[in-house]
Structure 1
């Protein structure tokens, strides 16, 4: 059961890879449509909105999820990756997928904010679970 904690981690990494592929496709489409030139991608602030939203979503995947990666490894190393930890980890990943989906589609800030807060709360719960485990 301990290694089950790594399936949500793998799912999170797959999300990051999928976002990179989407960003590349949107950047190529922007250049082909004439909305951008290859030089525009040297300075991300001039990137067209469709690919810029994906680029920002990728950056989000290297903020809060870094703490998620760490706590999952710590839970595994200390034998605390039980059912509740795995369940919380899947919950966190679900919020990240939903957040990314909103970010790269309708990009509604308040909906993204709610999803971020839910993921943040789950990530905090994982750290509290870890703290209780090593106590």
Structure 2
């Protein structure tokens, strides 16, 4: 479970960087001002800033439930092929979700990928609850 967890954390760190770069890019080219980010009540920010910020926010919702499952699995020293398969399935779904979200952002595609990730996460928790 350490490898899928680490891979998800890389995605989160990457999106922090991408969101920062997008905000600085918008400031540099005059689309926004630095003060717009103090309480997010300034002028309308460019869509690429909104998309990256929204995706970063998403990475602190459902993925936290996955992180908790990984911590539980590690602390119980429990691992199985099924658990690893579902963990990687969840992580891959989050990478695909991020890619869709910050590029063409088609809601139906994003929802399908989200649903697949949710399926993997539920399977992880069902397995973990079955051994407790």
TM-score (norm 2): 0.92
Unpaired runs of at least 5, structure 1: none
Partner of 2:79: 81
**Alignment correspondent of 1:11:** 7
Give the equivalent residue in structure 2 for 1:109. 107
Q: Distance in 2 between matches of 1:20 and 1:72?
A: 22
Secondary structure of 1:7's aligned partner: helix
Residue 18 of structure 2 corresponds to 22
Q: Mind listing any 5+ residue stretches in structure 2 that lack a counterpart? A: none
**How far apart, CA to CA, are the structure 2 residues paired with 1:43 and 1:53?**
17
Q: Which residue of 2 aligns with 1:53?
A: 51
Deviation >3 Å, runs of 4+: none
Q: Aligned-pair distance for 1:77?
A: 2.0
Match of 1:127 in 2: 125
Matched residue, 2:66: 68
What is the Cα deviation at residue 131 of structure 1?
A: 1.4
Aligned length: 130
**What is the CA-CA distance between 1:48 and the residue it aligns to?**
2.2
State the SS of the aligned residue for 2:14.
Answer: helix
Equivalent-residue separation in structure 2 for 1:44 and 1:93 (angstroms): 30
- Select between 77-86 and 97-106 the one with higher mean Cα deviation: 77-86
Matched residue, 2:90:
92
RMSD: 1.3
Give the drift of 1:80: 2.2
